[in-house]
């Protein structure tokens, strides 16, 4: 409280206009975030008579529209959080209602959102990726698997030790559950996998697309609202020129994460996690790597085949210049036969 002096009189006024939850055992400290369009406000609060801090998420049904989609999202988030027990998913604590307003109480994690402008080294971004993938592995091991459906920088918290926390399960779905047509495009544009945009069923690869888009934003220091600048006319991410310092293997891993065709992505988080674990994030590509990447996929096999032929020809010419004996000539002939798969015509040459 503070004193307001007017006309010589002192009057106590509140420091803020936050809701009073003292009868429910909570005291609001500050506002953490606000989504005016969705009618959501998030508060940081103390649990009275304890040292515990919690997050209270307010959903105002009156501001969110006349339909029941908001209420269902609120109820669905509670149902899913109640069945989860992971150290990096803020646990469900309580929920209550007031006229036209619903409240969800969760564990507080002292970690800022990736939605804030923060710069990370590529190696740190890899650690964040591994941390989120571990959470997704947990969700996908549930019976049936759980799909988050709204992975983006704003829904990922990261502490000073690069531990990542996944929040906001308002759009989460159990894999295989029917989804109303009105909720198909409820995710965030740019982070939403193509299959969801076109009304196809979601799989364990769907969240990988959203995570890949999030990591590309971090690597290129792109804000979520500007993610469209990274997507070309063919609806594919075009970020390679912005991150020339990352290794070819890490770049390929990212491209696979955001493949438009879900069948070309990693099938699930466990496979993506295993693939990423051994990848060096920073490194320069060789001249051959750069050349091969500039050639269309259909021509790569032809190029590599020609390179093999040229290499064998050079090696053969070099060895012949030293006048090798019969054993060396037979070895060269055998190598040429294996390269061109002309075994039927080589049997006489090699003496077989």
Phi, psi of 45 (to 5 degrees): -140, 155
For residues 8-22, average pLDDT: 62
* pLDDT of amino acid 247: 97
| SS3 sequence of 10-73 | EEEECCCCCCCCHHHCEEEEEEEEEECCCCEEEEEEEECCCCCEEEEEEEEHHHHCCCCHHHHH
pLDDT in tens, 220-230: 999 999 999 99
pLDDT in tens, 30-76: 999 887 666 789 999 999 999 999 999 998 876 545 456 667 778 88
Span 122-291: which CATH code? 1.10.510.10
Whether the pLDDT of residue 214 is over 60: the answer is yes
Distance CA 44, CA 61 (A): 21
- The helix or strand, by DSSP H or E, that contains position 4, with its residue range, turns out to be strand 2-6
- Give the range among 70-74, 210-214, 249-253, 300-304 with minimum mean pLDDT: 300-304
Looking at domain 17-107, its CATH architecture is 2-Layer Sandwich (3.30)
Distance CA 61, CA 318 (A): 81
For residues 185-202, average pLDDT: 84
**DSSP per-residue letters across 138-194:** HHHTSSS-EE----SGGGEEE-TT--EEE---TT-EETT----GGGTT-S-TTTS-H
Which residue did the predictor score with more confidence, 58 or 187?
A: 58
The reported pTM is: 0.74
């Amino acid at each position: 409280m503070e004193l307001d002096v007017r006309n010589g009189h002192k009057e106590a006024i509140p420091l803020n206009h936050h809701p009073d939850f003292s009868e429910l055992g909570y005291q609001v400290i500050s506002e953490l975030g606000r989504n005016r369009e969705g009618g959501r406000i998030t508060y940081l609060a103390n649990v009275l008579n304890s040292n515990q801090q919690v997050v209270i998420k307010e959903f105002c049904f009156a501001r969110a529209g006349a339909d029941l989609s908001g209420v269902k999202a609120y109820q669905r988030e509670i149902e899913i959080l109640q069945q989860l027990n992971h150290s990096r998913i803020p646990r469900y604590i309580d929920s209550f209602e007031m006229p036209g307003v619903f409240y969800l109480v969760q564990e507080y994690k002292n970690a800022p959102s990736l939605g804030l402008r923060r710069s990370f080294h590529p190696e740190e971004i890899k650690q964040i990726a591994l941390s989120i993938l571990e959470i997704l592995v947990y969700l996908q091991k549930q019976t049936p698997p759980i799909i988050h459906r709204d992975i983006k920088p704003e829904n990922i918290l990261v502490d000073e030790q690069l531990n990542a926390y996944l929040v906001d399960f308002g759009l989460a779905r159990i894999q295989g559950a029917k989804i109303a047509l009105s909720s198909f495009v409820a995710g965030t544009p740019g982070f939403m996998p193509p299959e969801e945009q076109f009304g196809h069923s979601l799989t364990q690869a769907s969240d990988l697309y959203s995570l890949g888009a999030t990591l590309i934003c971090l690597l290129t220091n792109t804000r979520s609202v500007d993610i469209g600048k990274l997507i070309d006319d063919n609806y594919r991410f075009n970020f390679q020129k912005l991150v020339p310092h990352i290794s070819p293997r890490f770049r390929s891993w990212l491209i696979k994460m955001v493949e438009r065709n879900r069948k070309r992505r990693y099938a699930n988080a466990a496979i993506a996690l295993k693939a990423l674990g051994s990848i060096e994030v920073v490194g320069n590509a060789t001249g051959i790597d750069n050349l091969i990447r500039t050639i269309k996929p259909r021509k790569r096999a032809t190029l590599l085949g020609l390179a093999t032929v040229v290499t064998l020809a050079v090696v053969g010419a070099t060895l012949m210049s030293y006048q090798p004996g019969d054993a060396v000539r037979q070895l060269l002939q055998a190598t040429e036969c294996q390269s061109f798969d002309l075994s039927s015509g080589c049997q006489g040459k090699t003496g077989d």
